[in-house]
A and B are shown apart, each in its own frame.
Chain A
Amino acid sequence: MRLTLRVWRQKNTDAPGAMATYEVDGISKDMSFLEMLDTLNEKLILEGEDPVAFDHDCREGICGACSMVINGDAHGPERTTTCQLHMRSFADGDTIDVEPWRATAFPVVRDLVVDRSAFDRIIGAGGYISVPTGAAPEAHATPVPKADADYAFEHAECIGCGACVAACPNGSAMLFTSAKINHLNVLPQGAPERESRVLDMVATMDAEGFGGCTLTGECATACPKGIPLPSIAAMNKEWLRATRKAGKR
């Protein structure tokens, strides 16, 4: 395959950026999108140019690092991560636009790499359970109803990739935050911190400069792990419940 790539190039957070056009040849349809970018970078290095900086780690769809917007879609045309996207989703001769996640809370570090540490701070505000350390507890010591376990697992699938924020016209992190809150709030292990978790995580999400939710649904369409839109309604419910309880204290 022969492709024309238009890639966002930006030296650092404060430098202005622009789209740059490159031609790549000899792309196999079995390559992943990242391998295609590797091919481009090899060519750029040989030509003495700076390679395109992009985030990647596991390359098997579980770490959430490989953030980029391809032809206007977070992670490209398939509902998966960029590392799991294959070039057979494109046609020979295509022009492909590649841009970084766009959100004020995710500043561009360089080229396609953005700083997603705002997500870490949201997790730090309550995406954990406090337990005394020691030997691992017996697995069946705390029974969890099957339906709750499934619900928790569905939300635990979130890999923190940020595609939801990138796709949202408001740069909102509600889908991510709701996944993390619902995952722990439904479990007995998460119960002691149920109220402070949702209040603190939502407050941190706001403080990080993410937008609000207008129920556009772009996030859930973009999410590679299928976190559903009603998760946000469930988080709102938890938040309203927590404010009622906090008011009684």
Chain B
Amino acid sequence: MRTIINKIIEKFNRNEARLMDILLDVQAEFGLISGDAVTLIAEGLNISSVDVQQTISFYHFFSQKSRGKYTIYLNDSAVAYMMGRADIARTFEEECKCKFGSVTEDGQIGLFNTACIGMNDQEPAAIINGIVFPKLTESCVKDIVNGMKEGKSVPEMMGELGDGENSNKLLNSMVNNNIMKTGSVLFSDYKNGTAINKLVTMTPKEVIGEVKASHIRGLGGAGFPTGMKWDFCSMAEGDERFVLCNADEGEPGTFKDRVILTELPNLIFEGMTIAAYAIGAKEGILYLRQEYHYMKAYLESVLDKLREENYLGKDIAGKIGFNFDIRIQFGAGAYVCGEESALIESCEGKRGEPRNRPPFPVQKGYLQKPTVINNVETLCSVVKIIENGGEWFSMMGTKETAGTKLLSISGDCKYPGVYEVEWGIRIRDMLEMVGGEEAYAVQVSGPSGICISKKDFKRTICFEDLPSGGSIIIIGKERNLIKDIVCNFMDFFIDESCGSCVPCRSLPLILKNKLQKLLDGNGVMSDLTDLENWSKNMKAANRCGLGQTAANPILSTLKNFREDYEALIKNKEKDFDTGFNLDAAVAASCEAVGRNPQI
């Protein structure tokens, strides 16, 4: 063990900032990171053991105990449940004779829940030893578990491969792209390298000017003007600069980056190269969520090809002195690492705790150097902006939101998948497009976004009306909004907070318990006021976007679906709050003394 671990540490130059990679390699090698391994890593990096442990214990996919020869991570997003996740989970438990969150007695199979894996268009889905199994049925679960009992390898149990590049030997994946609508930016015809060849004829200032002229805003959710971000970064003081691409895609319900990563990876890397040229960076990092580990070999091969073609490396596209290269950094299961400063911390091998701002990443980012972080889709759009000009791009979309947007649409609709639409699309038109006219509610922009009712279906998706990072979840009439959706979202935030800020660590659970109290029929009207008042504190008091939006599922449904809440309160006049069912609580003692419980 010592030699293997030392080798891994050497591979990363005994660099503490590469702790994530070291841990990922150790976990891949041994299936777990044991106490002895922790000691060896701590020694090798000359840090304390608790410093190694703090990183390990932060991430969902690291484990200090064995999670089985076969490790099954079953998605538990709200949409997975809509698509029959409960039956699939039950079948796994019956077949394995073991509960979720544990490993079979013989140590062979481990069953674990996991947050949205970016497959909402093909749920229920699980990741088994790194391989995605979409559209699970009870019979395929039985086959899989039988295969495991026979000792088959996971690839042996795979079914039909997915569409597009998914059947590429290096991807070899059962995932489907489900590209339902292509638009004029991301999916326009493009010859690889065109933008880079043009790029090197421009000055960095001209590049930033073109991006500014396009009026493109970040497509990862926050909508910050990209040109301005690059400009700030290029002006910030620093001897080195970095470009980071955010492919963490953690917001439940989005899966558009997954499709870009499989079908248009060239665009991502070209986009990063353009950003590098604009700000003067030599190094770039693609931060990729662990759930997409199956893309590793494929993406590495794309990078290799770019290096061969001199679109990465030294003197790119013949431009003397333009040097830039990209490495892939995997995450290990933490939604908060999609937040830009947490992403940086994670790239530095630490816990994914968001930083305080100021300073902003453009001033002090990765390794405290000026850093640009952009979403996958933003960088791809920039390639087309350089190719066709900023003005071309700015003509699309709405007044304040130029261009197109990839929507990831899932839930109760006929045609889930990704759709490239112009900003400004009306919710009603979108529902028609996807066969979701019957919707009771639409969750725009994932759990951290808002839940709208019919009266708002005339509204439009754009930053001046309903902003969206791309996740659209359609909720049908048959769903119990509070139980199936709001509670599921709250559970997500309860697990995914980094734990730093008191309100973000504490309140979501308190709020969720209150919802449960209402669902149990023990609520009173003042509970609704409490929910509202307490939720408001989340927005005001927390450090990052996660905590600031974590009460949105409650706030937006309280606003738009208040009747659903009131329907849970049996006696609206009741002004005292027992918080529990008094009759049931005293039933046993009443029976013992032979009295009727009557209060």
Q: Do A and B come from one complex?
A: no
Binding site for B on A (CB under 8 A): none
Binding site for A on B (CB under 8 A): none
